[in-house]
Amino acid sequence: MDYKDRPYFHVAHARDLTGWDKILYRILEIIPGLLAWSTLIGVVVLSFLKPVWAAIFIIIFDLFWLLKTAHLSMHHFHNWRRMKHNIKVDWSKQLSKLKHEDIYHLVLLPFYNEGEEVITNTIDALIASEYNKKKILIVLATEERAGQEAQDLANKLKSKYGDTFGDFLITTHPSGIPGEIMGKGPNITHAAEEARKKILDFRNIDYKNVLVSAFDIDTVVWPKYFACLTWNFLTVEDPQKSSFQPVPLYNNNLWQTHAVSRVAALTSSFWQMIQQERPEKLVTFSSHAIPFKALYEVGYWQKNMVSDDSRIFWNLFMANDGNYKAVPISYPVSMDANLAPTTFQTFRNIFRQHARWMWGVENLPYMIFGFIKNKKIQTKKKIQHTIVQLEGFWSLTTNPIMIMILGWLPIVIGGEAFRQTILSYNLPIITRTLMTVAMTGLILSAIIATTLVPKMPQDYKRRKFRWVIMFLQWGLVPFTIIIFGSLPGLLSQTRLMLGRYVGKFWVTPKHRK
């Protein structure tokens, strides 16, 4: 039996299984949280009982972190150069050398109750893209639970833009289907299946020639996105076993939103840029593209869990016995940074959005469970992915806390005898020095960020001051990586460890000033 036909292929959590499988899956769900809490509690206990050991661990860890930062900065810088290069490349000219006329792009735009301005921005960018619009098939995926207002808006947009594209389909995902969560996954899965029946089959389009871009409703494509994507699709080895990942830049509204939101958003973008240079570690995230045939074969995105964007990669990886990859195209798509009517709401939304992203840890037990079950996947790949994913979630959650807070702990709770040692005095000096050197990497981030910022609106006053703030805001990173990185990560891992699964996809509100 193919792996995709096995009963646990679309498992969301341990509760969906029975017997030993359930026990095994449950243990795997506990591991990330257990690792994170063991580390944090371990450092606290060690600082109390064996402060010298704790200090040694912290110094070595700080040095490791500094060098890791340097290593990642190199990836970041290279990807920034590559992305800037790819933005300039004439992809249409490149494409003209290839047979590409049969390729279609099915663009899924799931929306719930976002405003017309957000959707028109997205569609206007699609129209502005340098690609044959008749090869772009739009699916505006609405939700029945959003009510008549959303339907009316969809119909209005179809009548306005319908003739511009190869097709413009409105789908309505029914509400209250058993086994589905309220979220993006069920909606785009429904939309993709509707599009298959009503567009692809109707027009007799070969599934092999269709690339599905699963976007968010605020995803604004850059002009050469489709040309670049098509070129990558046509030139990559084994295209039907490849997903394609653009760089998600959360920069649509950078000038309108709060400095904290900007830093949190750009930090997420930068992490994705780093991952673009480490393809063996890359997993689809947020807006991504998948060959329709591969997608159809695995039954589209899972409808019973939240982080469908990354899960689809693991579905495909398992279904293809490990012979599936995510291809970084190093070309940007833009999305909104968090913005709400009030600062507090903005901060709350950032936290909730990041908590949802961090809930991607639910893919870790699925991945390891699949590795155990699927004997056809190379052991090397299994080990590599397990280490990468485990280390990724562990470091994201624990490292900022260890570096920013726990570094001083042995001095505080290590006792008087330890406080008199040279080691105790040197610990904060070394930690501070290493962190200061590491933070110089922020200057690179600040420089890169300024090149990714959209044009400042003409009516803005105090323009130079705003640019200064745009640069200085990077000083917030030590706080944002803990508050919007570690804490939501720890929350998600703890929930998974305790079996308190997230059962609803929290839709990030899109607010425009």
Partner 1 sequence: MKPLSKKARLGSGIALGIIFLILAPILLANSFGYHWEKVEDVFTFVKAGGIYVGSEISGVEIYVDGEYFKDSGLFIRNTLVQDLKPDTTHTIVVQKEGRHDWRKTLPVYESLVTESKVLMLPIEIEKREIFPFMIGEVGTTTPDKDSVIGKGISEEFLVEGYIPTNPLYKELVNSFSEEVLNVYSTSTIVSSSEIPTLGEEPLATSTEEIIPQYFTDLGIDDPSALENLIITSDQMAWIENGNIKLTWIDDEKPPFYYCFEIDVCDNEIIIDWQDEILKFDFLPGRSDVFVVMVEEGVYAIEADGRSDRNIQPIYTGTDLDFNKSIRDQIVVKDGLVFYEMRI
Residues in contact with partner 1 by the rule CB under 8 A: 55-56, 59-60, 63-64, 67-68, 70-71, 74-75, 78-79, 81-82, 85-86, 276-279, 328, 330, 416, 420-427, 429-430
171, 195 contact by CB (below 8 A): yes
Beta strands in 62-135 (DSSP E): 104-110
In whole angstroms, the minimum distance from the beta carbon of 54 to partner 1 comes to 12
**Closer of 189 and 276 to partner 1 (Cβ):** 276
**Closer of 27 and 52 to partner 1 (Cβ):** 52
Beta strands in 9-133 (DSSP E): 104-110
84, 451 contact by CB (below 8 A): yes
CA distances in angstroms from 156 to 150, 160, 198, 221, 345, listed in the order given? 10, 6, 20, 22, 30
**Most distant CA pair in the chain: distance in Å?**
80
**Closer of 358 and 427 to partner 1 (Cβ):** 427
In whole angstroms, the minimum distance from the beta carbon of 64 to partner 1 comes to 6
In whole angstroms, the minimum distance from the beta carbon of 317 to partner 1 comes to 20
**Closer of 124 and 280 to partner 1 (Cβ):** 280
Count, residues in the chain: 513
In whole angstroms, the minimum distance from the beta carbon of 348 to partner 1 comes to 36
In whole angstroms, the minimum distance from the beta carbon of 67 to partner 1 comes to 4
**Closer of 75 and 293 to partner 1 (Cβ):** 75
In whole angstroms, the minimum distance from the beta carbon of 122 to partner 1 comes to 28
The edge-to-edge listing of strands for the beta sheet with 242-249 is: 167-173, 136-143, 104-110, 210-214, 288-291, 242-249, 325-334, 220-221
In whole angstroms, the minimum distance from the beta carbon of 232 to partner 1 comes to 12
**Closer of 24 and 56 to partner 1 (Cβ):** 56
**DSSP assignment of 304-323:** SSS-HHHHHHHHHHHHTTT-
**Closer of 279 and 341 to partner 1 (Cβ):** 279
What DSSP state is assigned to residue 112?
S
Q: How far apart are CA 333 and CA 244, in angstroms?
A: 12
Q: How far apart are CA 268 and CA 477, in angstroms?
A: 12
For residue 293, how many other CB atoms are within 10 A of its CB? 17
Q: How far apart are CA 32 and CA 12, in angstroms?
A: 16
In whole angstroms, the minimum distance from the beta carbon of 78 to partner 1 comes to 5
90, 223 contact by CB (below 8 A): no
**Closer of 187 and 424 to partner 1 (Cβ):** 424
